[in-house]
Amino acid sequence: MAVDRLRARVAFGFGGAAPGDVPLVLNLDSAGRERQPVPLPNRSDSVGPAVCWTSDGGLVTNSSAGHTVAWPPSLDKAFDLGHHGLGGHRVEIAPQAPPRVAIAAHPGRIRRLDVDNPSEPREVLLEDVGDPVSAIAWAPDGQRLTCGFRNGPLHVFDARTGLRAGTLAPHERKVVDVAYSPDGRAVLSADAECVRISDATTLTTLDELRPGWNIESMCLADGGRFVVIAGYAMQPSPEGGARLAVLDLHVR
């Protein structure tokens, strides 16, 4: 899901084989359904689990068939931005102008959303490292993009050229999530067993967090003070399988 904090809306994608050619959008102020986006251009396609909001209230998703689709703030049109493979993988909006979306694919890519602006290339391909991108995160200044890969590598790319600008210590397995601290000083990356904290400038590892269960996703909260880790227990228990940890990073 993705939250549009300015307009108090939340959008949900769909995972696995769940049907749906339209993201679900809810209005948090009234706890009611917002005006729903029009369906995907290809009616045989379905919305993937990854959705994100643009700064002006538009919506972007990567469909289950690997198409990147964008809706304007009115949600009354749907534009197919191209087929990029890896259906259902991540899409992330750049935090700074110009409006761009990073797409987890093979190779990863950055695509401008203001398609009428001819001054820069519409799309920048990231340097191919021979592995599909599984997680992506923009630096707060929008100049760098950190990507985790299916087999564990973790690279930083120049958002303008798409070339590698650095490499962090690789994970031992698929990178499931990446995030920058709000001040841009730290990069957090997660695989199924650990969350790693690295220095964004030197790219050295500072710490590792191991909750003792399978990690599925992670995010930062309260201005970067807390890291929230979600997953499931490795072995069934009477308390159930879901797990959630909230850790204070200010003490580390």
pLDDT tens digit sequence for 4-50: 988 899 999 887 655 578 888 998 887 677 778 888 887 778 888 88
pLDDT tens digit sequence for 145-160: 999 999 999 999 999 9
**Do residues 186 and 209 make contact, with C-beta atoms less than 8 angstroms apart?**
no
- Among 8-22, 89-103, 179-193, which stretch is predicted with the lowest mean pLDDT? 8-22
Report the pLDDT averaged over residues 101-115. Answer: 90
Q: Where are the beta strands (DSSP E) in 2-153?
A: 2-4, 9-12, 24-27, 32-33, 51-53, 59-62, 67-71, 79-83, 91-93, 100-103, 109-112, 123-125, 133-138, 144-149
Domains of the chain: 2-181 (2.130.10.10)
Q: What is the pTM of this model?
A: 0.91
**Residue 30: partners with Cβ closer than 8 Å, 6 or more residues away:** none
Mean pLDDT of all residues belonging to the chain: 90
pLDDT at residue number 118: 63
% of residues, the chain, pLDDT over 70: 93
